[in-house]
Structure 1
Amino acid sequence: MPRVRAPRATLKRRPGAAVVLSVALAAAAITTGCEYVYDDGRPLIATPTPTFTDVRLPRDPRMNEPVTGDELELWVASVLPGTQGQVFHTAFGSMEPRATLTESTGQLPSGTYALTLACRSHYRMNFIVRNGDDELINLSLRCGTARVSVVQLTKDSVLTVEMETVPAANYAYIVSRI
């Protein structure tokens, strides 16, 4: 059986395209090497320039110092939110180094609650919130921040808030209904 060959496609070469491409590449190579240097008479010394990766201002180290009196009340007002809901319990105070403190809320009716926890110290504080034997929140909070947790109570309950600190600290928390 004789072989039938398929017709060959012919490519047209365009020499102008190759010239345009080489001129564009040469122009790119020339312009990327341009640099303006101005001589102001000073000697050229390679000095490292500082690089700033964070645009925030550094925090005042005293911001996490525990406070007392009116300063404590001002701090509490600034870290606990102005709530839209009904506030059932608010507590704040100071703790000695390596102290553990346990407090209880009053009777809370069933519902959904927001617990805002905050501390002021150079370290972390541990917060454990319990409803009877049930542990609802177990949190190691970095002081200088506040944390809001939402809990659902299916029946009337009394919450127990246990706080533990290593250095001296201030604490604050609020229980409000959502």
Structure 2
Amino acid sequence: MPAINGAPLRRQAALSPGPDPPRKVSLRSRPWTVVVLSTAAALLTSAVSAGCEYNYNDGWRPPLNDIAAATTSPQPDFSADQWQNDPVGAAGLEAWVETVQLGSGLQVAHRGYGLLRAGEIRSEVTAGLPAGRYVLALACRSKKAVAFSVTNEAYGLVHLSLLCGSTRRNVIYLSQETVLTFRVEAESAANYAYRLIWL
């Protein structure tokens, strides 16, 4: 409360708790005590942590120069034919299919490949495939992604848009003899290939 006509300010006080007779404790001394104690605690904590040093080399990790030497590899040849996304013509199609598909000597249940013009859609229906597990390998070569879908009479097994330059492999399980429909769609001129292999 402000002083009126030169009267001194009254100081507020609180009664101290406890069984002893009540005595007055100044409220102004408590905030300073809190500030002093928290500053002392912060200084003590920083002094204790400053003396700690961590060493993460537990002996299982090789030195950094050994890691750099082990990971150095020759630069890839990005001019190689497999990295290009321009479709090949009919003459080079067989060679391209053999380089991007799963290796030879595997038991192929069904395969398809070809050339697509921009906006073209191609569909193909298989004969009845026996029950079992299959690996479906998909590949394409185009400036844009190529859409692949594999369906049976009831539902879709695979629906994806593949960025060309890579090969995608999916595992398919057929619980009974099934007829599959393969559908391929390209936004720009493309080569496509798919192969269904028995496991």
TM-score (norm 1): 0.65
Say which is worse superposed, 167-176 or 81-90, in terms of deviation. 81-90
* 3-state DSSP of counterpart to 1:172: strand
Distance 1:71 1:84 in 2: 22
Q: Could you tell me which of 140, 157, 164 is aligned with 1:143?
A: 164
- Contact 2:141 2:192 survives alignment (8 Å): yes
Q: Could you tell me which of 89, 96, 111 is aligned with 1:90?
A: 111
Q: Tell me what 2:58 maps to.
A: none
- Contact 1:83 1:176 survives alignment (8 Å): no
Shift in alpha-carbon separation, 1:110–1:83, aligned structure 2, 3 A: farther
* 3-state DSSP of counterpart to 2:96: helix
Q: Tell me what 1:100 maps to.
A: 121
Letter in 1 for 2:107: Q
Q: Is residue 146 of structure 2 the alignment partner of residue 125 of structure 1? A: yes
Distance 1:105 1:147 in 2: 20
Deviations 1:90-125 (A, max 9, x none): 111000101111111222100000010110101101
Deviation at 1:88, TM superposition (A): 1.0
| Unmatched segments (≥5 aa) in structure 1 | 1-54
TM-score (norm 2): 0.58
Distance 1:103 1:174 in 2: 13
| The structure with more radius of gyration | 2
Q: Tell me what 1:34 maps to.
A: none
| Unmatched segments (≥5 aa) in structure 2 | 1-74
Deviation at 1:161, TM superposition (A): 0.8
Q: Could you tell me which of 73, 77, 85 is aligned with 1:64?
A: 85
Shift in alpha-carbon separation, 1:59–1:80, aligned structure 2, 3 A: same
- 1:5-20 correspondence to structure 2 within 5 Å: none
* 3-state DSSP of counterpart to 1:64: coil
- Contact 1:76 1:92 survives alignment (8 Å): yes
Deviation at 1:167, TM superposition (A): 0.4
Q: Which has the higher contact order (CA 8 A, sep 6+)?
A: 1
Deviations 1:117-142 (A, max 9, x none): 11010110111110113110111100
- Contact 2:90 2:115 survives alignment (8 Å): no
Q: Percent identity?
A: 38
- Contact 2:97 2:113 survives alignment (8 Å): yes
Distance 2:129 2:98 in 1: 23
Letter in 2 for 1:112: R
* 3-state DSSP of counterpart to 1:75: helix
